[in-house]
């Protein structure tokens, strides 16, 4: 097989969900947007539902439709983008719960789908989605009369527990929701780890389910093994790859492996990246190209049939660091060409 193999451990995702639920001790949802962070929202959702998850979140209504087909009629599916123009039939047909972000969305929803469940998002300082305090103050009584199922906000700096913005947002959320008899939610993975003051009635872990930071105790979820197509000897002074980006300083052996930026392996990771061959670290050399990456295997006693980028020896966060990015980007960019194997 010439394509790389991506193993996805669904039970590890479920174990991470259970661990975060145990920390939070409140209703624990599961965020499966962006196709389950690139790992197949349908399969991830079904496995988490079997593990006990009853609340799911997606980014847009179309994702909700696909998830509903996979997990059936029982669990709740909420849509972060709210009720967009033209979404009424989708929301109604798939029994989705839009999280309304503005007065316009509120009006659209109650006019198109009177009595249909909805949640509300408040902006507590991130300035991305949700009703700002003045807007909320004007709409509050009208919105509450429609019986929202949830009021939520989102933390901007939860990856840094010491950041003062966390407490500013928590205080703002308390102020905007004080005395309301509606379930409240403020925290995703980072907020869960900051303690009970951030948990409220529901938490919404995302990246922590899939093995990413800031949940350092997460079980690893993915392994990525990439076939070696060819190994060649490179003499001193010869170059490898586009733009002659790497020059051999000693007689070298170079393996060309079958993956590249078309497979989501970000081009900027090349200068710092390593892979592992039978547990031994070997460096990526030269440029990451569309379909191929070159690796210096000179130090290996035996030439490998494949190398591992993600797995036992390095996580999605390690690979993200090679490229100067975050684990979210690595996961959600994993390409369509991989031979995917889901393990339960």
Could you give the residue numbers annotated as active site? 33, 242
From the list 207, 338, 341, 339, the residue with the least C-alpha distance to 264 is 338
DSSP result, 106-163: HHHHHHHSTT---EEEB-SS--SSSB-HHHHHHHHHHHHHT--S-EE---SSTTSTT-
Residue pair 162/175 in contact by the 8 Å Cβ criterion = no
Taking CA atoms, 197 is separated from 24, 70, 145, in Å, by 10, 34, 27
Helices (H) and strands (E) in the chain, counts: 11, 19
Cα 82 to Cα 87: distance, rounded to the nearest angstrom: 9
Give the count of beta carbons closer than 10 Å to the beta carbon of residue 303: 11
Cα 207 to Cα 30: distance, rounded to the nearest angstrom: 10
Cα 180 to Cα 202: distance, rounded to the nearest angstrom: 15
Mode of pairing for the β-strands spanning 184-185 and 280-285: unpaired
Q: Which residues contact 167 (CB under 8 A, 6 or more apart)?
A: none
Q: What is the distance in angstroms between the CA of the first residue and the CA of the last residue of the chain?
A: 23
From the list 331, 306, 332, the residue with the least C-alpha distance to 318 is 331
């Amino acid at each position: 097989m010439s394509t790389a193999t991506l193993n996805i451990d669904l039970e590890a995702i479920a174990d991470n969900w259970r661990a975060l639920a145990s920390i939070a001790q409140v209703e624990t949802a599961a965020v499966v947007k962006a196709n389950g962070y690139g790992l197949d929202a349908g399969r991830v959702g079904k496995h988490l539902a079997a593990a006990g998850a009853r609340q799911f979140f997606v980014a847009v209504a179309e994702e909700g439709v696909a998830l509903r087909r996979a997990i059936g009629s029982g669990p709740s599916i909420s849509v972060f983008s709210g009720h967009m123009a033209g979404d009424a039939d989708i929301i109604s047909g798939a029994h989705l719960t839009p999280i309304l972000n503005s007065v316009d969305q509120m009006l659209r929803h109650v006019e198109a789908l009177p009595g249909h469940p909805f949640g509300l998002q408040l902006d507590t300082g991130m300035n991305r989605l949700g009703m700002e305090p003045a807007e909320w103050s004007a709409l509050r009584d009208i919105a509450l009369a429609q019986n929202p199922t949830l009021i939520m906000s989102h933390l901007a700096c939860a990856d840094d527990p010491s950041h003062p913005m966390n407490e500013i947002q928590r205080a703002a959320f308390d102020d905007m929701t004080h005395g309301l008899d509606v379930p409240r939610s403020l925290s995703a993975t980072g907020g869960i780890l900051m303690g009970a003051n951030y948990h409220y009635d529901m938490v919404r872990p995302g990246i922590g389910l899939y093995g990413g930071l800031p949940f350092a105790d997460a079980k690893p979820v993915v392994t990525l093994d990439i076939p070696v197509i060819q190994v060649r000897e490179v003499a001193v002074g010869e170059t490898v790859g586009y733009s002659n980006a790497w020059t051999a300083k000693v007689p070298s052996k170079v393996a060309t492996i079958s993956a590249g930026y078309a497979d989501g392996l970000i081009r900027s990771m090349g200068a710092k990246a390593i892979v592992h061959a039978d547990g031994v670290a070997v460096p990526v050399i030269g440029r990451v190209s569309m379909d191929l990456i070159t690796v210096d295997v000179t130090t290996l006693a035996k030439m490998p049939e494949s190398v591992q980028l993600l797995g036992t020896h390095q996580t999605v966060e390690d690979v993200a660091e090679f490229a100067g990015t975050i684990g979210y980007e690595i996961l959600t960019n994993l390409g369509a060409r991989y031979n995917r194997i889901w393990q339960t």
